[in-house]
Amino acid sequence: MASVDSAIAIILVYGAVGGAIYALISLGFTLIFGVARLLNLVYGALYMVVGYTIYALAVQDGVSIYAAAAVAIAIAIGVGTVSFLLFVRRNPDPIRFMIGTLLIALFLQYYFSYAFQGEAGYIIPGLIPNTSILVMGVSISQLSLLAAGVSVIMVVTLYIWVERTGSGRVLRATASDPETAALFGISPGRVALLVIVLSSALIGLAAVLVVPTGEVTPTMWTGPFIIAFVVAIVGGLGKFLWTLPAAFLVSFSQVTAQYYIPYDVTDLVAFAVAIVFILTLPRGMGGIWEAHRVG
Amino acid sequence: MSGEPRPGWKNLLQGTARVLRAPIYLLALVTITVMAVLPQFFGTQYFALSLVFATIYITLALAWDLSSGLTGYISFGLPFFFGLGAMATGYSYYHGVGGSFSLLAIDFGVGLLGGLLFALPTLRLRGPFFTLLSLLLPLIAASFVVAFWQVLHMPTIGYIGIPFLAPSPQAELPILSVTTAAVLTVSFLLRRSHFGLVLRAIRDDEDAVESKGIRTLPYKVAVFSFASGIAAFAGGTYAMTTSFGGIDSFDFQFLIYPMLIAIVGAAIVRGGLGGIVGSVFAGYAIILFSQYLTLPEFNLQELTLPIFAFVAILLVLFLPSALGRPSGPREAS
Amino acid sequence: MTRLVVSELAKHFGGNRVLDRVSFSMRHGSLALVGPNGAGKTTLLNALAGVVRPSAGRIEFDDLDIAGLSTWKIARLGIVKTNQVVRPLHSLTVDEHLRVFTRGNDPVRRARALRATNLEEFREQTADQLPFGALKRLELAEAIVTGARLLLLDEPIGGLSRLEAEGIVETLRTLRAQGQAMIIVEHRLREILPFVDDVVALDRGRIIYDGPPSGFYADAAVRDAYIGRTDAGG
């Protein structure tokens, strides 16, 4: 059994890196809900699309990983945008949208299972070699560190964009009141399109960075989906500025529980955190903040 | 409910009899009967087995249509309760419970209780929370089984060797046809009752219903728990058909097919989701067709699920009437 | 006889005082709640019905403080509100609407409400096929069949033609004669004031008049609120 010090080091390092990665995985999901008020269940499947595309190109066909990653992200954007437009343009009913996008995710799962021979897991290369280094005496994969670093950069960039630039303000205005925004000549449809492209690119990027640390399987979409959903609940649905703190909370809860429980309980912990928040703070961490600001 | 005059058994029976004289319901009963009798004289073992699966999926579709279709609170948790039933069968059997019917009764109880525990906190909230959390259920359950299969005394990630409900599919089919008909009858009566009327009202405008003195939570929780019990029961029968209950029982095919059946069924009876009866006709057609496609000569076993998922997507896209929510004017603020 | 006593009721939205310590009581069986736009009438009605939660104050209904209770509890206690913007259950027929809400599932009560609101001809039609006037009457019929002891009517004749409005006023008059208590929010004073017992007028969240309809038009504060301050500058 490790000493208390090393326990703290392990929880700190894995929790922090995991939190940053979770933020990257969740950002796009929260963004879509914030702007379009729609729960895009294809979201997790895009992660899988990237995994299989890179496998097909880089491993099976020998294309360079950079080219493969670029193509994979482009395909993810394409799939994400088309499925969004299919359901939003025809019928903007949120129930139909949820059922439809879930069916697309499941279709992709079954399709990949068929096209890539069943449940076998494949390994794909990362942008940098998957070797481990020591941080505070804890061994951690360089790929994970890269993912965490990119995540922090993306979160900060997005924050500055939304808070400080004109186009970001358009986004915020649409998120808080689409009808009024429309009166000022902003097309909510176009903003939604921008957001769906952006969010598909974000989850695609997350996949390029994170999937090489794991396996490509037909059910891999559920992992990022659970994370994105739980982080969205904890931060407050649609309050994407709260993604980072929420992601850290989820990650630290998981890592702490995992450290003490000898079974793989990460999904269960995530679910428990979501339930606790829904019961006590259905508007999430962002909700408490707003209550104070207004009151 | 407050101050309700007792309707009297006679009135209740007469009312029930009147509802059950509906031609579409009788046609569904006839269909179930014919499908139960047919393989006793014609076809192969495989045909009988396909019909057994059809009754299981129809039961699931009925449960989904009754709770999600009627109330508008869409649940993706169906595979969870189905798998829960399959697992409960295995667990009970491994712990000395004998007799198919006690096993199935346990399954129903476990599903009912599970549904209640899930619905009580989550159905208090409006908006998409319920639907999303329900989707997490089967996802979490699968990883739960993977993590704890040894704790649950499973020989592998599931219970194997669960006893068969009947020695052959031909013998099993009449039993499941009777239970399917029973679920159909109860669902149909519920839909036509005051209870069902309140559920439809909730789908249209829940706030308006509450503002006139009806607390909606008990209605939603009751129907969802009941449907969960039915789903778990169906999972138990599936486990006793395949002799296995485990991680595969949480697969999303146990959501896709029932949803597809309910959606096509809704299109058949032209009432939108929550129409109940249509699922019987759609169920036999869809499951028999799907089983037909998996025959070795087509070499489509692996493609059947993607095909049906794709068909479901097209239906959701191009069959606006089936998903209910008639496009009346909605001026709610 | 229903007793309703509202004391020091307040509601803030953000820093905005929509109701500013409002106190009044129902002395007789009917009361019109009037005032210019933005006076807080609908907010007051919503607070009585539990649709909005008051920031402070008491609402006593038969000596029970109901302020802040949820809508269904208040409705069960006997206070039911109709909506200004009609909210029908669009896939249900008129008859089904009433079956959902009829207290004790009593067919006699239902038939009476149908007749009283002149909806018999629409019985089997779904709400999305009904003309606007019938939807307004349906809203009223739903409230009636609940067996509410106090009806809160939010602009029951708003948006209706003179003829249609007369029909509803006639219904209300009949209900009144049968002893039904009601509070009516309405802009169309000419149609409503003649048959209510009392008038409470609000302006910017405060009560400016509380008395019989006969003294209403002559009251200086009321004239100020409606017509503007005639003594301005002089």
Asked whether the beta carbons of residue C71 and residue B210 sit closer than 8 angstroms, the reply is yes
CATH topology of domain C4-225: Rossmann fold (3.40.50)
Q: What is the CA radius of gyration of chain C?
A: 18
B117 touches chain A (CB under 8 A): no
Question: What is the average pLDDT across B264-293?
Answer: 86
Percent of chain C predicted with pLDDT > 70: 97
Residues in A touching B135 (Cβ below 8 Å): 41, 102
A86 → chain B, closest CA residue: B317
C105 touches chain B (CB under 8 A): yes
Of residues C141 and C84, more confidently modeled: C141
Q: Flag whether the ipTM exceeds 0.90.
A: no
- The pLDDT of residue C230 is 52
Q: Is the pLDDT assigned to residue C13 strictly greater than 60?
A: yes
B217 → chain C, closest CA residue: C72
- CA quadruple C128, C131, C137, C142: dihedral, nearest 10: -10
Cα separation, B285 vs A145, whole angstroms:
53
Q: Is the pLDDT assigned to residue C231 strictly greater than 60?
A: no
Q: Is residue A8 classed as helix, strand or coil in its secondary structure?
A: helix
Question: What is the average pLDDT across A107-121?
Answer: 84
The three-point CA angle C162-C166-C167 to 5° equals: 125
pLDDT-derived band at A104, boundaries 50, 70, 90:
very high
Question: What is the average pLDDT across C98-116?
Answer: 83
Q: Give the DSSP per-residue string, A96-119.
A: HHHHHHHHHHHHHHHHHHHHTTTT
Which sign, positive or negative, has the C-alpha torsion B61, B67, B71, B72? negative
Asked whether the beta carbons of residue B74 and residue A114 sit closer than 8 angstroms, the reply is no
- The pLDDT of residue A294 is 38
Cα B91 to Cα A49, B234, B317, distances in angstroms = 37, 16, 41
Q: What is the distance in angstroms between the Cα of B316 and the nearest Cα belonging to chain A?
A: 6
Q: Could you read off the pLDDT of A186-203 as tens digits, one per residue?
A: 777 778 888 889 889 999
Name the residue facing C86 among B197, B216, B331 (closest C-beta). Answer: B331
Residue A185 lies in domain:
4-294
Chains that touch B (3 or more CB pairs under 8 A): A, C
DSSP letter, residue C18? E
Name the residue facing B133 among A107, A268, A274 (closest C-beta). Answer: A274
Cα separation, B231 vs B85, whole angstroms:
7
* Residue closest to C100 by CA, chosen among C85, C113, C86: C113
Percent of chain A predicted with pLDDT > 90: 13
Residues in B touching C104 (Cβ below 8 Å): 1-5
Name the residue facing B316 among A94, A103, A233 (closest C-beta). Answer: A103
Q: Could you read off the pLDDT of C139-193 as tens digits, one per residue?
A: 888 888 888 888 898 888 888 888 888 888 888 888 888 888 899 888 888 888 8
Name the residue facing B129 among A91, A102, A278 (closest C-beta). Answer: A278
Residues in B touching A40 (Cβ below 8 Å): none
pLDDT-derived band at B32, boundaries 50, 70, 90:
very high
Residues 57-86 of C with CB under 8 A from B: 70-72, 75-76, 80-81, 83, 85-86
Residue B196 lies in domain:
18-323
Asked whether the beta carbons of residue C127 and residue B328 sit closer than 8 angstroms, the reply is yes
A38 → chain B, closest CA residue: B128
Q: Is the pLDDT assigned to residue C1 strictly greater than 70?
A: no
Tell me which of A223-237, B72-86, B236-250 is least confident: A223-237
How much of chain A is in helix, strand and coil states, percent to nearest 5?
75, 5, 20
| Number of separate domains in chain A | 1
- The pLDDT of residue C90 is 81
Residues in A touching B317 (Cβ below 8 Å): 86-87, 90, 100
Asked whether the beta carbons of residue B303 and residue A114 sit closer than 8 angstroms, the reply is yes
Cα A209 to Cα A76, A206, B115, B309, C90, distances in angstroms = 14, 5, 38, 29, 49
Question: What is the average pLDDT across A247-274?
Answer: 85
- The pLDDT of residue C52 is 86
B201 → chain C, closest CA residue: C89
| Number of separate domains in chain B | 1
Domain residue limits, chain C: 4-225
Asked whether the beta carbons of residue B121 and residue A279 sit closer than 8 angstroms, the reply is yes
Residues in B touching C105 (Cβ below 8 Å): 4-5, 7, 194
Residues in B touching C89 (Cβ below 8 Å): 200-201, 204-205, 208-209
Q: Is the pLDDT assigned to residue A291 strictly greater than 60?
A: no
C74 → chain B, closest CA residue: B213
Residues in A touching B273 (Cβ below 8 Å): none
Residues in B touching A110 (Cβ below 8 Å): 305-306, 309
Question: What is the average pLDDT across A221-240?
Answer: 85
Asked whether the beta carbons of residue B328 and residue C51 sit closer than 8 angstroms, the reply is no
- The pLDDT of residue A155 is 85
| Residue from A33, A43, A103 whose CB has the most chain B CBs within 10 Å, to mutate | A103
The CATH number covering residue B127 comes to 1.10.3470
Q: What is the distance in angstroms between the Cα of B5 and the nearest Cα belonging to chain C?
A: 6
Name the residue facing A282 among B125, B140, B325 (closest C-beta). Answer: B125
- The pLDDT of residue A290 is 57
Name the residue facing B136 among A91, A98, A226 (closest C-beta). Answer: A226
Percent of chain B predicted with pLDDT > 70: 93
- The pLDDT of residue B332 is 32
Q: Is the pLDDT assigned to residue A293 strictly greater than 60?
A: no
Q: Is the pLDDT assigned to residue B330 strictly greater than 70?
A: no
Q: Could you read off the pLDDT of A4-17 as tens digits, one per residue?
A: 678 888 888 888 88
Asked whether the beta carbons of residue B328 and residue C92 sit closer than 8 angstroms, the reply is no
- The pLDDT of residue B1 is 41
Relative orientation angle of helices B304-318 and A94-115, to the nearest 10 degrees: 160
> Contact at 8 Å (CB) between A43 and A225?
yes
Residues in B touching C71 (Cβ below 8 Å): 207, 210-211
Residues in B touching A39 (Cβ below 8 Å): 128, 131-132
The CATH number covering residue A265 comes to 1.10.3470
- The pLDDT of residue A132 is 80
Q: Is the pLDDT assigned to residue A139 strictly greater than 50?
A: yes
- The pLDDT of residue B2 is 42
Tell me which of A21-30, B68-77, B268-277 is least confident: B268-277
**Amino acid identity, position A64:** S
- The pLDDT of residue A138 is 79
- The pLDDT of residue A9 is 84
**A71 alpha carbon, distance to own chain's centre:** 19
Percent of chain A predicted with pLDDT > 70: 92
Q: Could you read off the pLDDT of C33-72 as tens digits, one per residue?
A: 888 877 888 888 888 888 888 888 888 888 888 888 888 8
- The pLDDT of residue B322 is 60
Q: What is the distance in angstroms between the Cα of C85 and the nearest Cα belonging to chain B?
A: 7
